[in-house]
Amino acid sequence: MIIDIQNVSWERSDKQILRHIHWQVKGGEHWCLLGLNGSGKTTLLNMINGYIWPTEGKMSVLGNTFGEFDLRELRKMIGWVSTSLQQKLYRTETAIKIVLSGKFATIGLYDQTDKEDHVRAEELMKTLGCTALMYRTYDTLSQGERQRVLIARALMAMPKLLILDEPCTGLDVFAREQLLQMIAAVARGKDAPTIIYVTHHVEEILPCFTKTLLIKEGQVFAADDTSEVLTSELMSDFFSVPVEIERREGRNWLTLAGALWK
């Protein structure tokens, strides 16, 4: 079991952010985590990464039960791409050094690397279409280029779990589609990690994400096969607004079926 969350809740300042979450992710599955802003997605991710602990309930990640394992070691087995990580990186660091730092899960490259590390970093950058960016500094990269570098960094340590937290934020439609194609290629790769893709845009859910978790107001609204979850009826209930889901070429597209207000 990659993720096993049993009746987990989390409170902050007497406010319950997550309520009685049940969720299991098995090896070989790729999940989409879908929810609006403020739904509890980020809190759940921070918990999976071991940065916060459940107020109640039990959880294990990659077979390691919280409370019985060094969470610092756990984080080395998880690749995480997020906006918050972007803000922590050194802007004058070269892209290749940022990718190499992923082996050690550090901000900045302080440890010794060898030839094999450099070969792997270069191969990852080639796979993600950013070979030409190797020796450019982070502050000269576009948002799309930065995301590709961060995904290469996340894959550097050969993680068993890869979490992509709204990776298309700030991208134009062309850069978004390029990045989604690269993510699909990663999912198809040999020995691919289990991927959790976090978004609030239905159209970003690629065919490789065969499972979808809907989270609303800190609770699990649905967790099932993507084909069962992404229906007009269920998504209308989820958004509390009439919507229509249209499937085209393996992707789902959402349109409003009525006015947001009267």
Query: 142: which 2 tokens?
Result: 């576009």
According to the model, what pLDDT value does residue 259 have? 59
According to the model, what pLDDT value does residue 102 have? 85
> Which residue, among 171, 259, 252, has the nearest Cα to 212 in the 3D structure?
252
pTM: predicted TM-score of the whole model, two decimal places: 0.90
Domain that holds residue 143: 25-52+70-230
pLDDT digits (tens, 9 = 90+) for 181-191: 999 999 998 88
Residue 223: inside a domain: yes
Burial class for 114, CB neighbours closer than 10 Å (0-12, 13-18, 19+): exposed
Domain of 177, CATH number, reads: 3.40.50.300
| Residue 170: pLDDT over 90 | no
Residue 10: inside a domain: no
According to the model, what pLDDT value does residue 251 have? 92
Residue 196: inside a domain: yes
Residue 239: inside a domain: no
Using a pLDDT cut of 70, give the percent of the chain over it: 95
CB-facing half-sphere around the CA of 164: CA atoms within 13 A: 32
Provide the domain count of the chain: 1
Residue 260: inside a domain: no
According to the model, what pLDDT value does residue 76 have? 80
How far apart (Å, rounded) are the C-alpha atoms in residues 236 and 238? 5
Is the Cβ–Cβ distance between 7 and 57 less than 8 Å?
A: yes
Residue 13: inside a domain: no
Residue 114: inside a domain: yes
Q: Give first-to-last CA distance, the chain, whole Å.
A: 47
Mean pLDDT, the chain, rounded, equals 90
| Residue 262: pLDDT over 60 | no
| Mean pLDDT of the region 89-111 | 80
CB-facing half-sphere around the CA of 81: CA atoms within 13 A: 31
Per-residue confidence band for 133, with pLDDT thresholds at 50, 70 and 90: very high
Residue 11: inside a domain: no
pLDDT digits (tens, 9 = 90+) for 5-59: 999 999 988 889 999 999 999 998 999 999 998 899 989 998 998 888 899 999 9
pLDDT digits (tens, 9 = 90+) for 144-165: 898 899 999 999 989 999 999 9
